[in-house]
Amino acid sequence: MKTIIKVCGMTQGDNIQAVEALGVDWMGFIFYDRSPRCVVERPCFMPQRAQRVGVFVNAPIEDIRCQVDAYGLRYVQLHGDESPLFCSEVASWGLGVIKAFSLSEASDLAATRCYEGCCSYYLFDTKTQHLRGGSGAMFNWQLLAAYDGATPFLLSGGIGPEQIGALRSFQHALWAGIDLNSRFESAPGVKDVALLQAFINELKQ
């Protein structure tokens, strides 16, 4: 199965265009005002080939629908306390739903069980005390040996250039892709294109 490469936290049109040219599969746009990567206005360029993913945290469903229409989102990524019913309603719009779960121990995986069947993918991130993702911290991927669900997942949480070896050795039948963000930035919301290109090239070798 091809590894999905998602680059999240995009904010600037020229940077979006340059990153899309690297051949990434998905690009994430954060609609959460407490994030330093929050999209405050529509960029002058939006991806034409890469799938557009909107990231939300406990947003009213009407606000999500508004951004889906305004930005042409194909996926909605939910990082808050959204219920399975909420996920199902978003999916009923014909969109893919990615539900994020923060992990610090294997028992945290139990929270995924009631979301089976209403999400296209899960995203596993690092559990932090105050942040909803974007911490730049890596969690212990070995915890995922205990994941026995049916929904494919993306790895997130502090993936940077130095994780190439770990990614090559990681194995799980439901592992679908990776989510790249803060470890590839020159500033919040601005990706280092050369660093991303070198990483993607090495990953594909």
The answer for residues whose C-beta is within 8 angstroms of residue 166's C-beta and 6 or more apart is 141
Tokens of 99: 């539900």
The whole-number pLDDT of residue 158 equals 84
Confidence of residue 128 (pLDDT cuts 50, 70, 90): low
- What percentage of the chain exceeds 90 in pLDDT? 89
What are the residue ranges of helices labelled H in the chain?
13-20, 61-71, 84-91, 164-169, 193-204
- DSSP annotation of 111: G
Q: Are 47 and 20 in contact (CB under 8 A)?
A: yes
The whole-number average pLDDT for the span 38-64 is 97
Query: What CATH code is assigned to 4-204?
Result: 3.20.20.70
Question: In terms of pTM, does the model score above 0.85?
Answer: yes
User: Domain ranges in the chain?
Assistant: 4-204
- Kindly tell me if the per-residue pLDDT of 115 is higher than 70: yes
